[in-house]
Structures are given as structure tokens and as C-alpha cells.
Amino acid sequence: MQVKKLIYLRAMLRLSILLIFAHGEAIHAVYSNVRFNDVGAVGGAGLNPGNLHGTAVFNIGEINATYRVSTPLQLGVAYHYTHAKSPNDVSARYHQLNFAADYGLSKRTDLYAALIYQLARGIDSTGKRAVAAVYAITPSASDHQLAALVGIRHKF
């Protein structure tokens, strides 16, 4: 019985640093290097329409900070950077900046708001210009995207 090897994922490095201060402030930094080896080892137009072969590498970094302004109000800011290199030796870079606020109305209910901006540069794995794609919303048709979120959260 022969077993075909699909895609071999190897997380090369993950480094995380968290600093928490006495009054509720925190600074957190994360770096990851992820490799998908043997891309294209298994055929199939649906899985690999560009017929790519080789290794895809993702270098991802983030730094964020939170600050408790008062008992109910907490503010946060984060910067994310992704460098994606595809097996066809093209690469794209993504820069994302997030601002957030959370206001506690009670122990179980709070209001939140966030503003997210993403900028994409380079060529993606399909050979097209990279487009911004903020998580959980439709990707942009251009190299930048701005999203705003507001809501109320109740914990049951």
C-alpha cells in the first residue's frame, strides 16, 4: 500500500515575548517562520492550479500594546507584518495596523470598536499584484483596505 505525501508543514521558529505592567498595560511581540515544504508533490488542479513546486515560506511578526485608561476603558494598538514567499520565487509583503477600544458596561457586557488598515505590496503566488485582505471580510480589489468594527458583547 502506497501512501502519498501531501504537504509537509514545518514550523521553523516561533518566538513570543509578553511584558505585563502593574496598571494593566502590556506589550507583546511575536515572530513566526513557517515553511510548507514539497508544495506540488501531489497533483490536482483544485489544490495547485498554478502547478507550483517547492517551498512556500511565511515570516510573520506582530507587536501590540494595551493600556487600561480607567477601570472600564482599555485601548490597544497592534502592527502586523507578513512576508510571504511562494515556490515560484515571487513574494508579497503585508503591513497591518489595528486600533481598538473596549469599554466595560458590566461584568458580562462591553462595547468594542476597532479600526484596521492593511497595505499589500509585491506579487502573490498566482503571479498577480498582491491585494489587501483583512481577515474575515472580503479581500480588497486594490493594495489597501480599511475596516471598522463596532459592537456589543455579552458573555453568558
Question: Residue 139: in which H helix or E strand, if any?
Answer: none
Closest by alpha carbon to 95, among 144, 42, 136, 139?
A: 144
Q: Inform me whether the pLDDT recorded for 59 exceeds 80.
A: yes
Task: Assess whether pLDDT exceeds 50 at residue 6.
Answer: no
**Where residue 1 falls among pLDDT bands split at 50, 70, 90?**
very low
* Model pLDDT for residues 106-150, shown as the tens digit of each residue: 999 999 999 999 999 999 988 899 999 999 999 999 999 999 999
Rounded CA-CA distance 4/1 in Å is 10
For the chain, give every domain's residue range. 8-43+51-154
When mean pLDDT is compared across 34-48, 56-70, 142-156, the lowest value belongs to 34-48
More confident residue, 20 or 56: 56
- Name every residue whose Cβ is closer than 8 Å to that of residue 86 and which is 6 or more positions away in sequence: 52, 56, 124, 125
- Nearest CA among 87, 93, 104, 96 for reference residue 145: 96
Instruction: Say if residue 19 is exposed, middle or buried (CB neighbours under 10 Å; 0-12, 13-18, 19+).
Output: exposed
8-43+51-154 — its CATH code? 2.40.160.10
User: For the chain, how long is the longest CA-to-CA vector?
Assistant: 64
Q: Could you tell me which of 5, 2, 1, 27 has the C-alpha nearest to residue 16?
A: 27
- pLDDT score, position 5: 43
Instruction: Average the pLDDT over each of 22-31, 37-46, 67-76, 138-147 and give the range with the smallest value.
Output: 37-46
Q: What are phi and psi of 88, to 5 degrees?
A: -90, 20
* 21 vs 141, residue with greater confidence: 141
Q: How far apart are the first and last CA of the chain?
A: 50
Q: pTM for this structure? A: 0.82
Residues β-bridged to residue 30: 16, 62
pLDDT tens by residue, 81-110: 999 998 888 999 999 999 999 999 999 999
